[in-house]
């Protein structure tokens, strides 16, 4: 059985194919005829022409990893200090970050806290009401 990634993670076309398509375009062939001959979409040819005009090359862009984590640098330093300063909940930390102008979500905060090796546990609601002699 073939192992595949998710359907939306396709590989970019090779640079050879891109250069061939653009060479044909430079020779005066229409975008549609190039696309039909090379079995690609006309929009590919157009996008590659625009890419070459804007960057001077036809290399595909980087896939993934474009976004720098929001909770890094000074934001991460502040969050580490805040976590060490006292009790917290993920929602409360998310709200405090929002108040500082840092847009993030609970999942990102959880990932950060987990990566820092911090653990937080909720108190057992029943354990808070029992007398101390019954607690384990």
Q: What is the model's pTM?
A: 0.47
Residue 128's pLDDT band, with cuts at 50, 70 and 90, is low
Residue 101's pLDDT band, with cuts at 50, 70 and 90, is very high
Enter the tokens of residue 125: 């609601």
* pLDDT higher than threshold 80 for residue 116: yes
* pLDDT higher than threshold 70 for residue 12: yes
Q: Is residue 30 classed as helix, strand or coil in its secondary structure?
A: coil
34: nearest Cα among 44, 24, 46, 43: 24
- Listed in sequence order, the DSSP H helices in the chain are 15-26, 31-38, 42-55, 74-85, 90-99, 106-115, 125-129
Question: What pLDDT is attached to residue 72?
Answer: 84
pLDDT per position as a tens digit, 56-68: 999 998 877 767 7
25: nearest Cα among 10, 7, 37: 37
Q: How far is CA 59 from CA 9, 21, 50, in A?
A: 17, 13, 12
Q: Is residue 3 classed as helix, strand or coil in its secondary structure?
A: coil
């Amino acid at each position: 059985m073939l192992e595949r990634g998710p359907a939306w993670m396709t590989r970019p076309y090779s640079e050879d194919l891109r250069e061939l398509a653009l060479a044909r375009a430079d020779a005066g062939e229409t975008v549609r005829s190039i696309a039909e001959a090379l079995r690609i979409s006309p929009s590919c040819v157009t996008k590659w022409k625009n890419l070459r005009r804007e960057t001077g090359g036809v290399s595909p862009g980087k896939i993934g990893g474009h976004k720098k984590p929001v909770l890094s640098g000074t934001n991460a330093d502040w969050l580490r200090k805040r976590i060490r300063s006292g009790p917290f909940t993920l929602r409360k930390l998310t709200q405090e970050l929002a108040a500082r102008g840092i847009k993030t979500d609970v999942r990102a905060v959880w990932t950060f806290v987990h990566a820092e090796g911090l653990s937080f546990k909720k108190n057992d609601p029943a354990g808070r009401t029992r007398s101390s002699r019954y607690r384990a």
